[in-house]
Amino acid sequence: MVVETEDGRVPDSVLRTPNRSFACGLHCVPRSDGSLYVGATNIISYEPRKYALLSDLKFLIECAMDQLHTGLDDASLQKLQVGNRPIPADGFPLFGRLDGTANVWMATGTYRDGLHQSPLLAQQMADMLGGREAHPALRDFVPVRPPLPTGTRDEIVDRQRGVAQDPLVEPAGDVPQHRRQAAPDLHAAVGAAGRDRRRAGRGSARPAAAGPDVLLQGVGVT
């Protein structure tokens, strides 16, 4: 969101709180016109979204007032911006020619990092369209592929068990109202995954594909 502070003062530089699980820290960016940009939130959705959830907005405003500056309660809201961050089901980009087509190329699925990667990806894509091979580091990201693993199922469940509660609790130690229901659900899901694993002995089926048909959207409000 973009706000105008009551006394017109803004910080001299960008301020940012530490990253938390599943989300970047809260940040504010002073703009040359004297306004202050405050962001960002993130929810995962199967469909692109046009509008912000009120719960996300409430969360962003409360976090900004609690963690950046209490004086923001007197700021005026100038603008709300909602954008979609494309992310494939396995979390890695989609880059290259679409299997089974002669001329359909994809460069997407970059989630929160597409802006910074764009000069490099554009250069690589231009090379590929010109008939050259992709850089070896990009070859794993062909658009239609089995999900790229970041560990065995057991390792991922164990890792997840460790971080699952973090995003539910804010630095002040409270669970935001709109996440209270998620807490027991998440505990149950993570617990169930662990139980399934113990019952089955070990690993189990992975999702079938990470291609464009399962492109998700991380929707952010700034």
Query: Which residues contact ligand FAD by CB under 6 A?
Result: 39-40, 83-86, 108, 110-116, 220, 222
Contacts of 217 (CB under 8 A, 6+ apart): 44, 45, 46, 47, 48, 49, 84, 85, 86, 87
In the complex, minimum distance from the CB of residue 126 to ligand FAD, in angstroms, rounded to a whole number = 15
Beta bridge partners of 221: 82
Q: Is 5 helix (H, G, I), strand (E, B) or coil?
A: coil
**What is the smallest separation between the CB atom of 113 and ligand FAD, expressed in angstroms?**
4
Whichever of 40 and 72 has its CB closer to ligand FAD, that residue is: 40
Report the nearest approach of ligand FAD to the CB of residue 110 (Å): 4
Give the residue carrying structure tokens 């998440």.
186
Give backbone dihedrals phi and psi of 87, rounded to 5 degrees, phi first.
-145, 125
**Least distance in angstroms from the C-beta of 103 to ligand FAD:** 17
Cα-only R_g, the chain? 21
**Residues near 154 by beta carbon (within 8 Å), at least 6 away in sequence:** 197, 202, 203
Nearer to ligand FAD, 126 or 200 (CB): 126
Residue 72 or 219: which CB sits closer to ligand FAD? 219
Bridge partners of 218? 44, 85
Query: Closest CB to ligand FAD among 106 and 164?
Result: 106
- What is the smallest separation between the CB atom of 24 and ligand FAD, expressed in angstroms? 8
Q: Are 49 and 220 in contact (CB under 8 A)?
A: no
Nearer to ligand FAD, 5 or 217 (CB): 217
